[in-house]
């Protein structure tokens, strides 16, 4: 969930995997640090919850570790930031449905669904001083919904365990062929995608209108990307219960989405029988990595309808993230 409770997860490497996924159960409405044990050996892999940002990326996050001798280690420059990705809660999670209104609505106000951003790093394995250290992290984004003014500062204790040196964890797992394979962090990071969102202005060009349905057409370069490889993901808004001042019952912003492609264009249909607020309609068009060129994704047309079927002006934004 979004890091309204910015609790770092730091452990010896063998615990990193399980603790990593504890991030998803955080629903409290205030920020805290040092809730979990914050101990690591030089060379260990640790994971830290660092806010809730859709735009945070491994290559753009800043992270530095100041050791007990006040030596600053630039983890980005050292290549020790292994991955930055976001987690989403189980759709049945209690906090997703019954958390305080601030915690639920804050992510949407920042332009994305409730998510928890996680950073996985390696502690420098040589020359770092033992004792109390400080990890400073800046996502360098404007969409962090944690409510914390960057940078995040997280206490860390660097320890020496005789006979048990730290080690960069490969997170080996067994596949169907019973062969141990290391974790593939890029699989957890965002695929290249276009985001279609109606934002805070949305279809306000038609005053007083509520969106009941929409038809969108997206073009793409079929010589670069195969239409069969394009997929659509829609942010889940069905648990949003309104704002602090205007709470609403569950179901107010339900929507149904279907899509198809004919080899040259993608057609997306949205139906919201009870009406949907513009900020909750977010559509992502994803495609594989490693294409031969620009896939040429572009929004060709958008037609909106109110709850009575009348055509209204819909003005979505379209952004591409390679």
- pLDDT, tens digit, for every residue of 32-74? 333 345 889 999 999 999 999 999 999 999 999 999 999 999 9
Is 279's pLDDT higher than 70? Answer: yes
Do residue 214 and residue 165 come from a single domain? no
Do residue 48 and residue 156 come from a single domain? yes
Do residue 226 and residue 98 come from a single domain? no
| Residue 209: CATH number of its domain | 2.60.40
Q: CB of 141 within 8 A of CB of 61? A: no
Do residue 37 and residue 68 come from a single domain? yes
Is 76's pLDDT higher than 90? Answer: yes
Where does residue 246 rank: exposed (0-12), middle (13-18), buried (19+ CB within 10 A)? Answer: exposed
Q: How confident is the model at residue 280 (pLDDT cuts 50, 70, 90)?
A: confident
Q: For 199-237, give the DSSP string.
A: TTTTTTTSTT--EEEEEEEEE--TTTS-GGG-EEEE---
pLDDT tens digit sequence for 109-122: 899 999 999 999 99
291 is a domain residue: yes
In the chain, the number of structural domains is: 2
Query: What is the sign, positive or negative, of the torsion defined by CA atoms of 102, 108, 114, 118?
Result: negative
Do residue 199 and residue 136 come from a single domain? no
Q: Determine how β-strand 256-261 pairs with β-strand 173-174.
A: unpaired
Q: CB of 62 within 8 A of CB of 151? A: yes
pLDDT tens digit sequence for 141-194: 999 999 889 998 999 999 999 988 898 988 877 767 667 788 899 999 999 999
Is 202's pLDDT higher than 70? Answer: no
Do residue 127 and residue 201 come from a single domain? no
Last residue of one domain, picked from the residues 135, 165, 186:
186
Do residue 170 and residue 234 come from a single domain? no
16 is a domain residue: yes
pLDDT of residue 178: 64
pLDDT of residue 25: 32
Which tokens sit at 154?
């997280």
Average pLDDT, the chain: 83
2 is a domain residue: no
pLDDT tens digit sequence for 227-263: 999 999 999 877 666 555 666 677 778 899 999 999 9
Do residue 197 and residue 149 come from a single domain? no
> Taking the complete model, does pTM exceed 0.85, yes or no?
no
Q: How far apart are CA 154 and CA 151, in angstroms?
A: 10
38 is a domain residue: yes
Last residue of one domain, picked from the residues 125, 153, 186:
186
Q: How confident is the model at residue 21 (pLDDT cuts 50, 70, 90)?
A: very low
Do residue 154 and residue 216 come from a single domain? no
1 is a domain residue: no
207 is a domain residue: yes
The CB-side HSE value for 77 (13 A sphere, CA atoms) comes to 5
Do residue 23 and residue 124 come from a single domain? yes
65 is a domain residue: yes
Is 140's pLDDT higher than 80? Answer: yes
Is 273's pLDDT higher than 80? Answer: yes
Last residue of one domain, picked from the residues 164, 186, 208:
186
Do residue 159 and residue 231 come from a single domain? no
Is 222's pLDDT higher than 50? Answer: yes
Mean per-residue pLDDT for 92-101? 79
Q: How far apart are CA 179 and CA 173, in angstroms?
A: 8
Can you give the residue range of the structural domain that contains 218?
191-321
Is 308's pLDDT higher than 80? Answer: yes
């Amino acid at each position: 969930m979004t890091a309204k409770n910015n609790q770092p997860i730091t452990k010896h490497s063998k615990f990193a995997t399980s603790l990593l996924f504890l991030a998803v159960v955080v629903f409290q409405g205030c920020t805290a640090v040092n809730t979990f044990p914050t101990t690591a050996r030089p060379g260990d892999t640790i994971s830290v919850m660092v806010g809730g940002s859709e735009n945070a990326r491994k290559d753009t996050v800043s992270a530095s570790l100041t050791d007990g001798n006040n030596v600053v280690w630039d983890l980005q420059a050292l290549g020790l930031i292994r991955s930055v990705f976001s987690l989403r809660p189980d759709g049945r999670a209690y906090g997703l449905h019954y958390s305080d209104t601030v915690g639920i609505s804050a992510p949407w106000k920042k332009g994305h669904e409730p998510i928890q951003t996680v950073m996985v790093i390696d502690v420098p394995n040589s020359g770092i001083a033992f004792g109390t250290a400080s990890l400073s992290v800046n996502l360098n984004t404007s969409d962090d919904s944690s409510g914390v003014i960057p940078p995040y500062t997280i206490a860390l204790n660097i320890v020496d365990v005789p006979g048990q040196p730290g080690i960069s964890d490969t997170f080996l797992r067994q596949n169907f062929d019973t062969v141990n394979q290391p974790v593939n962090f890029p699989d957890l990071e965002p695929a290249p995608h276009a985001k279609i969102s109606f934002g805070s202005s949305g279809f306000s060009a038609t005053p007083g209108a509520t969106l009941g349905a929409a038809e969108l057409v997206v073009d793409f370069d079929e010589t670069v990307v195969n239409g069969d490889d394009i997929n659509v993901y829609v942010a889940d808004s069905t648990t949003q219960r309104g704002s602090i001042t205007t709470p609403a019952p569950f179901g107010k912003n339900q929507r149904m989405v279907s899509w198809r492609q004919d080899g040259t264009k993608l057609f997306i249909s949205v139906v919201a029988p009870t009406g949907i607020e513009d900020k909750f309609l977010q559509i992502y068009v994803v495609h594989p990595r490693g294409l031969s060129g620009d896939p040429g994704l572009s929004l060709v047309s958008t037609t909106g309808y109110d709850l009575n079927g009348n055509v209204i002006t819909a003005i979505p934004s379209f952004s591409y993230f390679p």
